[in-house]
Amino acid sequence: MAKDALDLPRHVVIGGSAGSLEIILRLVACLPARPNAIVTVVVHRKNDKDSILVDLLSSRTTLPVREVEDKEPIRVNTIYLAPPDYHLLVERADMFALDRSEKIHYSRPSIDVTFESVAETFGARAIGILLSGANADGAFGMACIKKAGGYTLVQDPASAEVGFMPRQAIERSPIDRILHAEEIVRFLPELLTK
């Protein structure tokens, strides 16, 4: 767990796969102009160098949106996107790292890898949000965030386009809140002010 965790900003880490893009766009749009947090998004996606995901996210927010590069410094009030075909890790509280090790749950980037590293580094300052998806990626990572004292929020499987991923997280460990997509969009700004 992170030392001096109270001195760290909050780190909101959002994971999703099949059926999660629309809610991710809405979550980005609902963020305050200065959330005083780091926001990291990990989405299962194809390895496409011409991806428009950064542009899509940027069109919904005034916050800077960056696809992470290896050894990239971490800045507050910025939205970071895991690049395709790399695992995204928090190397230190102020630096990301990329990794090309084997796929986890058939995925690279793996939500579990990022969530676990955020939990290890940010501890109780981590907020994990897991959305729609078709495999179990993210369930282990959410358990890590919960164990480290962070806050866990899962999309209600009944409101997810594909409920398998959030259901796996709910079955694996206690979750702080299970909300429908609309409720998550309303709740996140409130959570960031607590």
Question: Is 132 an annotated catalytic residue?
Answer: no
Please tell me which residue in 11, 105, 137, 159 is annotated as part of the active site: 137
- What is the CATH classification number for the domain harbouring 162? 3.40.50.180
Please tell me which residue in 11, 44, 87, 105 is annotated as part of the active site: 44
Domain total of the chain: 1
- Asked if residue 20 belongs to a domain, the reply is yes
Looking at residue 45, its pLDDT comes to 85
Digitized pLDDT (tens) for each residue of the chain, 194 residues in all? 444 555 899 999 999 999 999 999 999 999 999 999 999 999 998 776 657 999 999 999 999 999 999 999 999 999 999 999 999 999 999 999 999 999 998 899 999 999 999 999 999 999 999 999 999 999 999 999 999 999 999 999 999 999 999 999 999 999 999 999 999 999 999 999 88
Question: Is 87 an annotated catalytic residue?
Answer: no
DSSP 140-189: HHHHHHHHTT-EEEEE-GGGSSS-HHHHHHHHHS--SEEE-HHHHHHHHH
The domain of 85 spans 11-193
Question: Is 11 an annotated catalytic residue?
Answer: no
